Chains A and B, each alone.
Chain A
């Protein structure tokens, strides 16, 4: 399967703990996006990478959130000191070019207890 992959698929953590999610985009795609989706809503943009450069961050991405794409391939999203409001589905997507069709991974479901 050469689609977008995400790991883990599910994560349950206690409030205050740190969590890290990984995304592997489609191999030739150099544009990578992170979104957050809460129940009953569409995905909300969090951040965007072109190769290893993080070109935009949403206001939704508080100081507790950080994303990296060190070698322009896989990306990680870390949430520090998790809060119950962080519970959501975290989605990763990639595109071949800036205006191209966006392909999503299966998502990581985070539950903060």
Chain B
């Protein structure tokens, strides 16, 4: 079945640094979503992307829908300790207008 490759799997960064992560697929997607999940909690929606090439910001977060429709990127600027958590991408394939496929996550740790 379709899979989303998310990278890096984990990263340690210093507070104040910028962070970049991405999600790639061999298939195209209609929608890309980015989530953050804290331990024991459900994923929290950060950014939703609906059109190829779309660039959307939410505070210090910026995400882009790749023009090939097979990838998406999330950037976090000036990281702070509360950015720690697991970041997931999710894509909605065109042939199924309701099912989302999730990546395996990027674990972010911020060192103060």
Contact = CB atoms under 8 A, between A and B. Distances in A.
Contacts of B88: 42-43
Nearest to B42: A104
Given A99-B30, A99-B31, A104 B99 contact: no
Contacts of B42: 4, 6, 91, 93, 104-107
B33 A109 contact: no
Interface residues of A, number: 27
Contact of A99 (B35, B92, B103): B92
Contacts, number: 63
Interface of A: 4, 6, 31, 33, 40-45, 48, 50, 55-56, 91, 93, 95, 98-99, 101-107, 109
18 contacts: A4-B42, A40-B105, A42-B103, A43-B102, A45-B99, A45-B100, A48-B99, A56-B99, A93-B42, A99-B30, A99-B31, A99-B98, A101-B33, A102-B33, A105-B42, A107-B40, A107-B41, A107-B42
Given A42-B90, A42-B102, A42-B105, 12 more contacts: A4-B42, A41-B104, A42-B88, A42-B103, A43-B102, A44-B102, A48-B98, A99-B97, A102-B90, A104-B44, A104-B45, A105-B42
